[in-house]
Structure 1
Amino acid sequence: MRQRLKHALEVVLVPIAAAIVFLEQTLIRYLNVMMEAVARWPPVARTEAFLMRLPPWAAVLAFAGPSIFILPVKLSAVWFVAHRHFVLAFAAVALGKVLATAIVARLYRILRPNLLSLEWFAWADRKFFQWRDWAYGFVRSLPAWRRMTELIERIRAQLAALVSGPSAR
């Protein structure tokens, strides 16, 4: 019975966990590239230089700021739902989440040295990454994850062969 429950949970949870891990890693990678390009714009570069000089508690406020700026996007989603524009509501939430993730990830990179000087932040940062690494390790150790990874690699290889096939001739 216990083995069946474990297998059933793997079948249900592994695809969800895989999607979350894949989306998180992919989104963060491409958003970091995008934000690095944006950071080369002189006004943004000056703003980042200013933020790096903030004292730790001001850095906490700057780090929390995007949560406030995303509020209008969330309110627009509520307005869209109230007017039965569900696709627009979903798009507003998705766009808001992507922008907030990009901004928060960039702020984290910029402000992290200042934030780590706060003992409670350093503790929370360490605990969060320990938990994340444990969760990733657990999901990646599941047989269903390994099977899914192998399947994805086979599909990638087939797609690469398909794309390179006509040009190789």
Structure 2
Amino acid sequence: MRKHYRFRRWLFAPLVYLAAIFLLIEEWLWATGARAMQVLAQFPPLHALEARIQHLPPYWALAVFVLPAVLLFPVKLLALLAIARGHAFSGIGVIVAAKLGGAAAVARLYTLTRPTLLSLPWFARWHGRFIATRDRWIARLQGTRAWRRIKRLSNSLGRTRRAWWRRLRSGASSRGRHNSRPARVLRRFAALWRARR
């Protein structure tokens, strides 16, 4: 029995790691998209559009909420077609851009339309079940060794990226704008030009 359990755990381990990576990417896309759309929403035309979306009737709000998925579906199909025809880089780029844009749009639209959509009894019922099921599966995934390893790796990469960015910014500020190489080349060129005159 123990051997069977070990074999099953070994067999499903790659899927658990894949699920952990997928969940981290989804969390990052959702959070980044929500922040990006919150910044964009400060522009007056988008602010006015969001105010109109918040006051839509329930079924119009539902149509607006599913709109990004409907619009991006043919784009993803065309990207897969491009990959099949040998344009792998372009196809993958389009899929990544569609995923980023779609996550940003869905995150913001979910925030805007959720109060209205929850006024629909059937939506509120299925939404509650979906959230409960999702939270239960995420809790199970976060209790695995795979999740802990992937999370540690993600945190380590995040710290490395932030340290690199701090060093890059501090190096740029210590050199100063006028001590950069292009500025030095321009000053030298200007000095030579003045000497010729």
Task: Please classify the TM superposition score into its range, dividing by the shorter chain length.
Answer: 0.7 to 0.9
Residues 1:87 and 2:86 aligned together: no
Distance 1:10 1:80, change over 3 A: closer
Q: CA deviation at 1:14?
A: 2.5
The DSSP-based 3-state class of the residue aligned with 1:70 is helix
Alignment of 1:3-152 (within 5 A): 3-78=5-80, 80-81=82-83, 83-150=85-152
* Cα distance between partner residues in 2 of 1:156 and 1:40: 31
* Cα distance between partner residues in 2 of 1:158 and 1:149: 12
* Cα distance between partner residues in 1 of 2:22 and 2:73: 24
Post-superposition Cα deviations, 1:39-70, rounded to whole Å, max 9, x if no partner, equal: 11111110110011111111111112122322
The DSSP-based 3-state class of the residue aligned with 1:13 is helix
* Cα distance between partner residues in 2 of 1:125 and 1:45: 27
Distance 1:151 1:10, change over 3 A: farther
Q: CA deviation at 1:35?
A: 0.4
Which residue identity is paired with 2:117?
L
* Cα distance between partner residues in 2 of 1:50 and 1:121: 21
Q: Any stretches of 5+ residues in structure 2 without a counterpart?
A: 171-197
Q: CA deviation at 1:7?
A: 2.5
User: How many residue pairs are counted as aligned between the two chains?
Assistant: 164
Does the Cα contact within 8 Å between 1:10 and 1:142 map onto a contact in 2? no
* Cα distance between partner residues in 2 of 1:111 and 1:64: 11
Which residue identity is paired with 1:74?
K
The DSSP-based 3-state class of the residue aligned with 2:68 is helix
* Cα distance between partner residues in 1 of 2:85 and 2:158: 46
Which residue identity is paired with 1:53?
H
TM-score between the two structures when normalised by the length of structure 1: 0.82
TM-score between the two structures when normalised by the length of structure 2: 0.71
Greater Cα radius of gyration, structure 1 or 2: 2
Between the aligned residues of both structures, percent identity stands at 32
Q: Any stretches of 5+ residues in structure 1 without a counterpart?
A: none
Does the Cα contact within 8 Å between 1:63 and 1:108 map onto a contact in 2? yes
Which residue identity is paired with 2:79?
A
* Cα distance between partner residues in 2 of 1:96 and 1:148: 25
Does the Cα contact within 8 Å between 1:39 and 1:45 map onto a contact in 2? yes
